[in-house]
A and B are shown apart, each in its own frame.
Chain A
């Protein structure tokens, strides 16, 4: 089998050895190694500027939609429409997965406490505890799709197609999450030991205990009310509303290269309609986000226009992206070394 000798993706695997680096090496890798598109400094600083107003409008609309569809779910519960509204409610509710991500970067709101309030709210309703996530995601940005370093590689090679399909509803993720909460509540950080500093461990452990307590209280509410609604309306959407975000998130890096210090080669930008961009927090501009993570979500379309001549041609919608991804994944089952090599502008010019 080709893949019996393929890479070990665990943080404690052999590849970790290559990642234990000194401060000087970190500087070399982080500052000098990643490709960064040329952007006028003043224009970039302008894009990075914070403002509460765009996020207030965006998050206000989101909360409003959650409230309206939640009330509609309650009002129609017991009929077939109740399930229809629950699915719509859950799909909107789980926009929190994209929002938690952006809030972890601290960029949507200028006012820090509002940012943190929405961050921890989004973290809970996606069952992705905030302190732990922030450290894990920082590592993902330092070492994007670097095997043995990045704890957020969604599709290790060879891809496990059945597992990916099952996880369309986050079934595997939720079980692993609950297992990890129990372990963390007992003081075992698991893979987090590789990216959570010792001084921050107690916060992660206490948060896991609070999450478990909150989950138990939700289940007790279900028993007390003899209704599944407390679960279905709080953390149930993590499963019911999962497929849309699974399909969106998977496009970020799937099928692209590993162990390269160029986000144009390991990340994917896709043009999408405004509804999906609202729910997904503009994370379809994923190359742009990785290259300049401090640019808020609502300025990413402008950043895209500024650097698109230095990036691969973006995919034109989800279907276009999956037309590229699916054949690559199927081929990777037999040949894990296979990956997409996006055409960079200089390659395009050379070809012309």
Chain B
């Protein structure tokens, strides 16, 4: 059963950018795409566990700020060296100006 957590305001995340949020001791990355859609993934790169929060969002790609590991943040797909393991993704809903993160499945 998915539990929806009110995680941040929509305006907390700039267009084509991300923020890191924490809930219950776990970190998540919340993205806002160029089409104004919201997505969520695990907050750390699967390569060397660097926080993605200071990474670069280009279109639908998040690049790790340290080694250029690249993921499609919509699917979590690792896009090649130096990342080989996909990023975990989470469902997101927008309700008004709030962003809800789906946890528990």
Contacts and interface: CB of A to CB of B under 8 A. Distances in A.
A54 interface: no
Contacts of B17: 45
Q: Which of A41, A48, A50 counts the most chain B CB atoms within 10 A?
A: A48
Contact of A294 (B44, B65, B82): B65
B58 A138 contact: no
B42 to A, nearest CB: 12
B81 A200 contact: yes
Interface of A: 23, 26-27, 30-31, 41, 44-45, 48-50, 104-107, 110, 131, 134-135, 138, 141-142, 197, 199-200, 292-294
B56 A294 contact: yes
A293 B67 contact: yes
A200 B56 CA distance: 25
A50 B68 contact: no
25 contacts: A23-B49, A26-B48, A27-B44, A31-B49, A31-B50, A41-B54, A45-B56, A48-B65, A50-B58, A104-B68, A105-B68, A106-B63, A106-B68, A106-B70, A107-B68, A110-B58, A134-B82, A141-B66, A141-B67, A142-B48, A200-B81, A200-B84, A293-B65, A294-B56, A294-B65
Interface residues of B, number: 20
A134 B81 contact: yes
A320 B35 CA distance: 51
Contacts of B81: 131, 134-135, 200
B58 A294 contact: no
Contacts of B66: 30, 141-142, 293-294
Interface string B77-89: 0000110100000
